[in-house]
Chain A
């Protein structure tokens, strides 16, 4: 390598943030800390998306995950658990067998990654993807795009129906 590139440095920084936060989500004793660590994972993953030349997906990730899902999760935590009570707030069971099984699975996956012959192509220069994605959504992917709106609408109505208070029959 002739010139010094920032790409590996930034990659290892973002990968460390993502992985350490993910492990924090899995191991934290307090569910509130788990949720905060989840934010680290989501932001780190968004940074990795930018490194993979997926700028639009990264922005969507920040908007939907950090702005939507994470806030919803924090609301649910505050509505359901006594977060000061660490011992009951995020109970975990069967950690040792789970760790054993998953360590084997992780080793198998990493080995598969290293030994597989992926079909690699020359990586193009990163460009803005918004125009391509917008055209794709309104031409080739028009059916899933419209179905997505239907799914979101039914999810919205379903969430309202599930979480409202039961109405008493007055009749």
Chain B
């Protein structure tokens, strides 16, 4: 078994990012899309912490990770509030159905 290094964490992060991107691209449920965004933010955080550990001597990466988590919380609160608003108006959260502004 080889030594675990930076590359291992980066590969895990890449796979999580791809899963999140797949979620965002293919889901037609607004909450599913938001969950994909959470996955993408998590993969970014894994990258921040991996580089902070293996490629720098400072703690700046951990600082950034905490700010990313904070912004993710704000994003989730606002996003889900918008989803509930869409549900009140359209009685569905399928993003294909909400095409009022589409030409």
Alpha-carbon gap, A56 to B74, bound state (A): 20
- Tell me what chain B mostly uses at the interface: helix, strand, loop, or mixed: helix
Alpha-carbon gap, A65 to B39, bound state (A): 11
Contact yes or no, A91 B21, CB < 8 A: no
Interface size class of B (residues with CB under 8 A): 35 or more
Q: How many residues of A contact B (CB 8 A)?
A: 81
The number of residue pairs between A and B whose CB atoms lie closer than 8 Å in the complex comes to: 227
B62 to chain A: which residues have CB within 8 Å?
54, 56-57, 129, 133
Q: Does A162 contact B (CB under 8 A)?
A: yes
Contact yes or no, B59 A136, CB < 8 A: yes
Alpha-carbon gap, A68 to B12, bound state (A): 24
Q: From residue 39 to 62 of chain A, which have CB atoms closer than 8 A to chain B?
A: 41-42, 45, 48-49, 51-54, 56-57, 60-61
Alpha-carbon gap, A145 to B72, bound state (A): 15
| Partner among B16, B20, B29, B77 whose Cβ is within 8 Å of the Cβ of A72 | B77
- CB A125 to nearest CB in B, in angstroms, measures 12
| Partner among B28, B65, B72, B76 whose Cβ is within 8 Å of the Cβ of A92 | B28
Contact yes or no, A80 B87, CB < 8 A: yes
B35 to chain A: which residues have CB within 8 Å?
25, 34-35, 38, 73
- CB A79 to nearest CB in B, in angstroms, measures 6
Alpha-carbon gap, A59 to B3, bound state (A): 26
Contact yes or no, B12 A18, CB < 8 A: yes
Q: A22-B15, A95-B26 are in contact. Are A48 and B46 (CB under 8 A)?
A: yes
Of A54, A132, A152, most B-chain CB atoms within 10 Å: A54
Quick one: closest A residue to B27, CB to CB? A92
A51 to chain B: which residues have CB within 8 Å?
4
Contact yes or no, B69 A158, CB < 8 A: no
| Partner among A54, A65, A155 whose Cβ is within 8 Å of the Cβ of B53 | A54
Contact yes or no, A162 B82, CB < 8 A: yes
Q: Does A76 contact B (CB under 8 A)?
A: yes
B6 to chain A: which residues have CB within 8 Å?
118, 120
In the A-B complex, the 9 residue pairs with the closest CB atoms: A155-B74, A22-B19, A162-B81, A163-B81, A159-B81, A98-B25, A109-B14, A92-B26, A91-B28
Q: What are some 16 contacts across the A-B interface (CB < 8 A)?
A: A22-B15, A22-B39, A26-B36, A57-B45, A57-B66, A64-B69, A64-B70, A68-B73, A79-B84, A91-B28, A92-B27, A93-B28, A102-B25, A152-B74, A155-B78, A163-B85
